[in-house]
Amino acid sequence: MKLAIFSLAASMLIATVVGMPAASPEALSRRNIPPKPSEDSFYANPAGFESAAPGTILKNRNLPSTIAAFGLIPANIKYTQQILYRTTNALGDPASAVATILIPYNADYTSLLSYQIAEDAASINCSPSYALQFASDSGGFVGTIVTQLEWLLIQAALEQGWPVVLPDHEGLNATFLANYAGGKHVLDGIRAALASESFTGIKSDASVAMWGYSGGSLVSAAASELKDSYAPELNIVAAVLGGPIPNINNALYTLNQGLFAGLIPDGILGLSNAYPALETMVQEGLKSSKKAKFNTAYDTCLGASALNFALQNMFSYFDDAQGLLAEAVPSGILANNSLGHSTPSVPIFMYKSILDEIDSISYSDKLYKTYCNGGAKVKYVRDLISEHGTLAAFGAPKALTFLAKAFNGETVVSKCTKTNTLSSLLDISTAQVLPSFLKDTILNLLYKPVGPFLIG
């Protein structure tokens, strides 16, 4: 939903390959239907996990089913693994989360990309660790379409040779919008991936970068802010924040009665999963005639919620929505999970559509100023003719170029810069990256080994 059409090229690619016999017999043999996380014992905390240090691997396993584009087309990845690892929740208590580690062919084990998918849901069954597998349930009609579309970006990163860790950054309780807990889940997922060398090959001292768009950018930004205090030992060389939504409270008013109003119940219930006091207030504040409909967001994924609540006045579901938002507990939670509480030391590339319909560009401008006034180094690009969904695709080549330079040890940003561009598609870096991106996408859907092609 938040990626919208993603790009015309992606749609054409899907149309081209659907129905083709792309998979090998070995891949077909792995096409098992995976259990939902809510029914899968791997997602349960082992006894005594609380005593483990954050980032400790608690369990690991082969995936129940193969990774598959759009849930249908198996991906030929060299090695995949799931880990359950110790982390910290929004209340500061011990928690755990699952991450998926992907190793491409011809991998560079000295680099690691943590990619944060925009899950944006209040159900554990929308977790990326599950949604990217063959034959996973979508959580309602087109429920996990954003996750499926973001797979194209993840593949593009794997084509660079970078191992990728995909954390379920909402944790086992699906705490969407608990951004700083999500930031800790990201950092601990990185710690766990770096501790996995014995079975993944990733070097324990690998250089690390983070990338997320929209909902994924929120926890990537929070992780950048938390890095120095929570995980100072990590060598994070860059963070890419696409389409950020810095102020949650303001976004509620922008989203209400719009095409993306379904993000409101997803977000409110996600925060309710993180904060029991808020859950009580929300359920007591809902109108009895509308409570059941609102709470369907506990069981559906992002795309389905978008369709279920599009154009609706979500405030009308409450007896007094604005009064509820003004109370100390909800207003404090929204403020505490909005971005800008500390200054990242990580070099940042941030890109946002000037016409973004999810969140006003002014709030990203303010976040840029906040970071830069604190001494951060931020490259900020404002795109004129895109909108929130299309910029996910249009901005990806520049993001990949930024990440590649950071992994190569180049200085990617030495001071804060803010520029406007007509379209990121017109940038020279896009011209350099896009042809190979499209070619690799087609070939990967035809079961090409995912990773850089090397001779000799």
pLDDT tens digits, 156-181? 999 999 999 999 999 999 999 999 99
Residue 28's φ and ψ, nearest 5 degrees, are -60, -35
As a whole number, mean pLDDT of residues 30-39 equals: 84
Band (pLDDT 50/70/90 cuts) for residue 444 is confident
Cβ neighbours of 20 (radius 10 Å): 11
- Provide mean pLDDT across the span 116-143: 96
Q: Tokens standing for 36? A: 């939902």
Contact 4, 389 (CB under 8 A): yes
Q: Is 356 a catalytic residue?
A: yes
Task: Give the Cα separation of 363 and 431 in Å (integer).
Answer: 30
β-bridge pairing 73-74 and 164-167: unpaired
Q: What pLDDT is attached to residue 431?
A: 66
| pTM for the whole structure | 0.92
pLDDT of residue 339: 97
Which listed residue (388, 424, 427, 440) is catalytic? 388
> Which has the minimum average pLDDT: 20-24, 205-209, 251-255?
20-24
Give the integer Cα–Cα distance in Å for 193 and 196: 5
Measured in degrees and rounded to the nearest 5, phi and psi for residue 382 equal -105, 120
Q: Is the pLDDT of residue 25 over 50?
A: no
Q: pLDDT above 90 covers what percent of the chain? A: 83
pLDDT given at position 425: 72
Residue 131: C-alpha distances to residues 138, 139, 295, 309, 394 (Å): 7, 9, 21, 22, 24
Task: Give residue 424's pLDDT.
Answer: 75
228 classed as catalytic: no
Average pLDDT over residues 86-106: 98
Asked if residue 377 has pLDDT above 60, the reply is: yes
| Burial profile 23-36: b = 16 or more Cβ within 10 angstroms, e = fewer | beeebeebeeebeb
Burial environment of residue 142 by CB neighbours within 10 A (0 to 12, 13 to 18, 19 or more): middle
Look over the chain and give the mean of its residue pLDDT values, rounded to a whole number. Answer: 91
Q: Is the pLDDT of residue 10 over 70?
A: no
pLDDT at 442: 82
Query: How far is residue 291 CA from its own chain's centroid?
Result: 29
Catalytic residue among 138, 214, 220, 386: 214
Q: Is 365 a catalytic residue?
A: no
Closest by alpha carbon to 385, among 358, 423, 356?
423
Identify any residues that bridge with 99 across adjacent strands, giving them in sequence order: 83, 167
Element housing 132 (H / E): none
**With bands split at pLDDT 50, 70 and 90, how would you rate the model's confidence at 14?**
very low
Q: Cβ contacts of residue 450 below 8 Å, gap of 6+?
A: 75, 76, 77, 78, 104, 105, 155, 158, 159, 444
pLDDT digits (tens, 9 = 90+) for 357-371: 999 999 999 999 999
Amino acid letter, residue 157:
A
Specify the pLDDT at position 16: 36
**pLDDT value for 426:** 72
Alpha helix (H) ranges present in 195-239?
Answer: 197-200, 215-230
Place 19 in a pLDDT band, splitting at 50, 70 and 90: very low
Domain 8-247+337-445 carries which CATH code? 3.40.50.1820
Query: For 132-150, how does the pLDDT look when each residue is reduced to its tens digit (9 = 90+)?
Result: 999 999 999 999 999 999 9
Higher pLDDT among residues 118 and 440, named by residue = 118
* pLDDT band at residue 310 under the 50/70/90 scheme: very high
The answer to whether residues 401 and 432 touch, using CB atoms and an 8 Å cutoff, is yes
Cβ–Cβ under 8 Å, residues 233 and 346: no
Structure confidence at residue 102 (pLDDT): 98
- pLDDT over threshold 60, residue 31: no
pLDDT category at 423 given cuts 50, 70, 90 is confident
> Which residue would you say has higher pLDDT here, 65 or 441?
65
pLDDT reading at 23 higher than 50: no
Phi, then psi, of 296 in degrees rounded to 5: -60, -20
Report the candidate in 346, 312, 152 with the shortest Cα–Cα distance to residue 241.
346
The catalytically annotated residue of 266, 356, 383, 427 is 356
